[in-house]
Structure 1
Amino acid sequence: MKFLKITFITALISFCGNLSAQQTPAPEQTEPVTIVGATAHIGNGEVIENSLIIFKDGKITQIMSANSTKMQYPGQIIEAKGKHVYPGFIAPNSTLGLVEIDAVRATDDEDEIGTMLPNVRSLIAYNAESKVVESMRPNGVLIGQITPRGGRISGTSSIVQFDAWNWEDAVIKENDGLHINWPNSFRRGRWWAGEERGMKENKEYKNEVLELSDFFAAARAYVNGDRKIPNLPYAAMEDVFTGKKKVFVHVDGEKEITDVIQFKKEQNLEGLVIVGGNQALAVADKLKENNIPVLVNRPHRTPEEEDEDYDMPYKLAKLLTDKGVLVGLESSGSMERMSTRNLPFYAGTVAAFGLDKEEALKLITSNNARILGIDGTAGTLEEGKDATLFISDGDALDMRTNILSHAYIQGREVSLETHQTELWKRYMGKYERQSK
């Protein structure tokens, strides 16, 4: 019994210690904040040198050149000459807050059992106190689209800001989009089922696409019918048919993307977005013609096909932009939750491979805001929009100079301390002592 008590107390102390890094959400803004002298990167391609930015009650009230005014600055004044101000970066298609530790099943809530799950809402599973979510803020990633995984229809995503007590406080846009995992016309041989290894034609592809079309048809009939028998998956499709909810189709192949474009026409879907789109360049003209944006997967990866250019992942966003397609960046894949903090550096890589630096910035600010449908309140530094922004000592798209001094979410100054910064300071102190 004594041993059990000691074990319990030890575990409790350890648990409390693990909570110490979690920051308490910032209080509401109580006085105006004025940022003077910084280079303001608006997020729409414009730059204001020696800028003046004022925000009050969580909203930007003024942004202009400091050279054009002699007004008395209100509230808290931040002298930021030599520094840079950016709108908060936006991470689409993210599972942040849905999984904390991959190896601990109790902390993994990114998918549900089933195939057609439009009624599954990722928002109610979102953990606003996640330590992984907290570690996004020091790099300027302040907003995310929390997205479910699995199944043919994964469910519905929602958009949140990264400083909240719970999902109710965090939400910016609830149930913003439906997520579909489009079938592949080719697939790898399932060795556990006795199939040969390597890529082979998926003979069930047409049936899988037909199954998806049949589900849409049945849901449409239910929504337009008397609904005597409750059907939650069908009922959840109503906002898709009315256009209130966007449709995000996760698809990579040229043939598959072409089929998605045809599916969009057949189903009369207005707000459709391609997620991934590794071979989107081959059908870029069709994407532009049908007003379909693409959320390109992170460039820090290897080419998907043997005959692709070695640098295709780095330059795909630029090539699609040059074709007139609206492009944003997302960061799904291996270690995606932790890697989301690298979102600004993905944009920096795209800039290094030919895209103008301010255009690359748009990929994680205004373009992502437009694609997600939150450009009325986020994505750029403009009067009337949320004061979700940060001050960096240097270029925020460069990991060497992305050093934040201040960050604000809807006008609240948020903490930049996390368990990651605590570890950094701890071990920097260790090596500094050893070098003396």
Structure 2
Amino acid sequence: MNTKRYIIVLVLSLSIFANAQQTPAPKQSKSILILNAKAHIGNGQVIENSALAFKDGKITMITDATVIRIDKSAYDITIDASGKEVYPGFIAPNSTLGLVEIDAVKSSDDENEIGQFNPNVRSIVAYNAESKVIETVRPNGVLIAQITPRGGRISGTSSIVQLDAWTWEDAIMKENDGIHLNFPSSYSRGGSRSEPGNIEENKDYKPQINEILTFLANARAYQVDNVKERNLIFESAKGLFDGSQTLFINANEEKQIIDAVQLAKSNGIKKMVIVGGYEAYKTAELLHENNIGVLLKRVHDMPEHDDDDVDLPYKAAKLLTDKGVVVGLENSGSHERMNTRNLPFLAGTCAAYGLDKEQALQLITSNTAKILGIDAQCGTLEIGKDATLFLSAGDALDMRTNKVSHAFIQGRMISLETHQSVLNKRYKEKYHQN
């Protein structure tokens, strides 16, 4: 099918689903009290029978409902959540949500810029807050995302958004939070995924690292020298040296990670995070000593090497956590945007392979918030933080019981309806199903 025909299909699809598009919720105007839910705070603590209140978008109370008297009349709305569980909103880091709508339609794909060194590329200006994909991730509790560019050696700059907004300006929680570096691999493998070939040394590894070193040296010199001619690319890297931005380093191999940490430290990079981190468990002590967090690549995957444990991807979070490394989960890879809805179940798998449930929950709440530098605002159910949270019928890390009934972003009760749920209702009626 050619591009022209795909565009026609896209236009028709958008017209069909037009009435399914949900209007972003208005600012919270009434105080809300949620009673009797099992509260998962997000920091390892659990309150079996909780009282949770929020007003003007902020949490004003979280306590054990059995030890204090609650005056329901003090709140405009009371939700009896008996038998349900309440969680902080899940956070999807290193995501391309809103940057691509249909992969086969070039005009809807804005995740990748030409060129190799692009710290000046701001993903947020390409973010489509009305993407149809975004509304499909919220019913599983994913309410916040780090919108991240792809491609090149330095892909560009990410920003963090809440997932219920009219425009990217409305969505922003933290603008230009970090710059993303794809560290060169020390080896390459031939063949295909189904039939891997031989592993060969990357003969260009040192020259490629030298290119990064040269860029960082020039960018750092630009910040301190009195340069008359403005260089937007070097200027955009300023945050790496003054600590206002994090360097997110995409690296999976042990050698990659060690070399990347040494390179960043030697060039005055204040804050860094490893993204991917398949062999990060081999460098756990180095990461812990330097206070470097890890956003683990999608754990629903096969081992990369013949001599790896078959369950290595599943237990990697446990191996790192035991060494004191702050770990989050990311979901980049094949079909990553639509697979964002499965983020809680990645954490569930980590719980099945060593972590307890509350530790696994932290992988997509408080730990990720800390790694992204937004932990003062969200990630846990604590007084003063954003009321970005949801109610589930059961364990939100289990796909059988993750059934979200209410979701709030900064105190606003958002719609959980999607074009998929609209079609489900439509055809149930057509065929008279219950």
Same fold (TM over 0.5): yes
8 Å Cα contact 2:240/2:270 also seen in 1: no
Structure 1 residue 264: Cα displacement? 2.3
Q: Which residue of 2 aligns with 1:135?
A: 136
Q: Which amino acid aligns with 1:166?
A: T
Residues 1:124 and 2:132 aligned together? no
Q: Which residue of 2 aligns with 1:50?
A: 49
- For 1:35 and 1:12, how far apart are their aligned partners in 2? 41
- For 1:13 and 1:187, how far apart are their aligned partners in 2? 43
8 Å Cα contact 2:91/2:144 also seen in 1: yes
Structure 1 residue 229: Cα displacement? 1.1
Q: Which residue of 2 aligns with 1:230?
A: 230
Deviations 1:399-419 (A, max 9, x none): 001001100000000000001
Question: Any stretches of 5+ residues in structure 1 without a counterpart?
Answer: 1-8
Deviations 1:381-431 (A, max 9, x none): 000000000000100000001001100000000000001222333455567
- For 1:202 and 1:14, how far apart are their aligned partners in 2? 45
Structure 1 residue 17: Cα displacement? 2.0
Q: RMSD of the TM alignment (CA)?
A: 1.9
Q: Which amino acid aligns with 1:389?
A: L
Q: Which residue of 2 aligns with 1:6?
A: none
Q: Which amino acid aligns with 2:98?
A: G
Q: Which residue of 1 aligns with 2:184?
A: 183
Matches within 5 A, 1:1-150: 15-73=14-72, 74-150=75-151
- For 1:257 and 1:111, how far apart are their aligned partners in 2? 24
- For 1:94 and 1:387, how far apart are their aligned partners in 2? 22
Matches within 5 A, 1:170-209: 170-189=171-190, 198-209=198-209
Matches within 5 A, 1:366-385: 366-385=366-385
- For 2:95 and 2:11, how far apart are their aligned partners in 1? 31
Q: Which residue of 1 aligns with 2:290?
A: 290
Deviations 1:198-247 (A, max 9, x none): 43111110010011010000011111112211111100011111000000
Deviations 1:37-86 (A, max 9, x none): 00000000000111000000000001101112213121100000110000
- For 1:413 and 1:227, how far apart are their aligned partners in 2? 50
Q: Which amino acid aligns with 1:180?
A: L
Q: What is the DSSP-based 3-state SS (H/G/I as helix, E as strand, rest coil) of the residue aligned with 1:51? A: strand
Q: Kindly tell me: are residues 354 and 233 of structure 1, through their superposed partners in 2, closer, same or farther at Cα, counting changes over 3 Å?
A: same
8 Å Cα contact 2:242/2:270 also seen in 1: no
Q: What is the DSSP-based 3-state SS (H/G/I as helix, E as strand, rest coil) of the residue aligned with 1:91? A: strand
Q: Which amino acid aligns with 1:105?
A: K
- For 1:352 and 1:365, how far apart are their aligned partners in 2? 18
Q: Which residue of 1 aligns with 2:4?
A: none
Q: Which amino acid aligns with 1:90?
A: I
Question: Any stretches of 5+ residues in structure 2 without a counterpart?
Answer: 1-7
- For 1:429 and 1:319, how far apart are their aligned partners in 2? 49
Q: What TM-score do the two structures reach when normalised by structure 2?
A: 0.94
- For 1:352 and 1:400, how far apart are their aligned partners in 2? 15
Instruction: Give the length in aligned residue pairs.
Output: 422
Matches within 5 A, 1:289-308: 289-308=289-308
